Amino acid sequence: MKSHTRIKIPAGFWAGIHQLGIAPHDVARKAQLPLTIINEPVVTTDQYFAIWQAYSDLIDDTAEGIIKLTTVFETAHYPPAVLATYHARNYRDALKRMARYKRMCPPESLRITEEGENCTIELDWLYTEQPGPPLLVGITLAFLLELGRRGTGQPLMARFVEFTHSMGDIQALEAYFGCHIRIGADCNRLTLHRGDLDLPFVSYNEELLEILTPVLDKSLGEQQHSHSITEMVKWIMKRNLAGGRPDIQTVASELGMSNRTLQRRLTDEGTSFKHLLTQVRHNLAREYLADPTFDIKEVAFMIGYEDQNSFYRAFRIWEGDTPANWRTEHLGADSIH
């Protein structure tokens, strides 16, 4: 499912890079892509990541690139989906719209959680196992704060920022976000002050939203239909399995639809949530058991079984054998070939 996902290059992307004194042709060359890519409206996930990585390689410092590209972008050049977030009622409304419309422009996926005094936004990748380049990660999270600053007209600060990879000049980034930044975290996450989410946007424009929202919702619907729901559900399940069994509620809310709609869409594709969950667990069990570095207890946990016995029973139904015997047989067969 890796590279057939089509990704829209954000409008104004090449112009923004040009404004920073980097020639788009140099980016294409560095990415080892044909120069015509500059005029392509859509690219594959691999090409998209290669473009960001090339841009990152051409600048001196990742942090500097993040700050420059985030702040140089003029609001007037925002694509319609982003424009809608800028004209939202308040910061919360803007972030929710951003998460919703990000689904139209994979590969970034945003998960927003409000708890206590915090609002955390976790960045993930849709339809790809490959994580995005650090520069893209940084810009995605920085832009969410930039959106709040531009919308409210106030110099908002983040509460905490976590990145999995190095981001260059950390002090410059801490000055931009206004908080401590942790590198080497287990995920990429921006934590905001929850109280800031209630701040109204000075750029709120009800008439424009009335025009834009139905158009964007229609595009989102078309985008979701172009990906089989079965594939999307399996991908979300796979990502959420370790240490727990994803329920239909979790998956449906990630897809921005109700449980009933999701069930209906799966029925239309001739399957069910329960069937897909079994399929994903079965495939992952085989994949993990084929790797001798995982012990069987770990495999059971990683595919969402809290106790080993339930895993053993399920595996016997799938393969007619115990996980240990299956592993011995398959690892032995592999070494003979």
The number of residues in the chain equals: 337
Bridge partner list, 114: 119
Query: Region 220-247: what's the mean pLDDT?
Result: 74
| Tokens matching residue 54 | 């090339």
Give the residue with greater pLDDT, 81 vs 267: 267
CA pair distance 216, 133, nearest whole angstrom: 27
Using the predicted structure, report yes or no on whether residue 105 has a pLDDT greater than 90.
no
Residue 117: CB atoms within 10 A of its CB come to 11
Phi, psi of 189 (to 5 degrees): -145, 135
Cα(35)–Cα(169) distance, integer angstroms: 31
Pick the range with the lowest mean pLDDT from 75-84, 197-206, 221-230: 221-230
Largest CA distance in the chain: 69
In which element (H, E) is residue 44 found? strand 42-44
CA separation for the pair 130, 330 (Å, rounded): 27
* 184 phi-psi bin (left φ>0, alpha ψ -120 to 50, beta other): left
Mean pLDDT of the chain: 86
pLDDT score of 335 more than 60 = no
The closest of 151, 165, 196, 163 to 53, measured between CA atoms, is: 165
Give, to the nearest 10 degrees, the angle between helix 273-289 and helix 259-268. Answer: 80
> Which 3-state string (H, E, C) describes 89-125?
CEHHHHHHHHHHHHCCCCCEEEEEEEECCEEEEEEEE
CA angle 320, 325, 327 (to 5 degrees): 105
H or E element at residue 161: strand 160-163
- The DSSP secondary-structure symbol of 98 reads H
Quote the tokens at residue 192.
């905001």
Mean pLDDT of 161-166: 95
Q: Is the pTM of this model over 0.85?
A: no
Cβ atoms of 88 and 204 within 8 Å: the answer is yes
pLDDT digits (tens, 9 = 90+) for 35-53: 888 887 778 888 899 999 9
Reported as half-sphere exposure (CB side, CA atoms, 13 A), residue 311 has a value of 24
What is the rounded distance in angstroms from the CA atom of residue 9 to the CA atom of residue 160? Answer: 29
Return d(Cα 136, Cα 188) in angstroms, integer: 11
Asked whether the beta carbons of 48 and 107 are under 8 A apart, the reply is yes
**pLDDT reported for residue 5:** 62
- Higher pLDDT pick, 105 / 272: 272
* CA–CA distance, 65 with 67 (Å, rounded to integer): 6
Which residues pair with residue 183 across a beta bridge?
163
Kindly report, residue by residue over 54-89, the tens digit of the pLDDT.
999 998 889 998 998 888 777 666 677 788 898 999
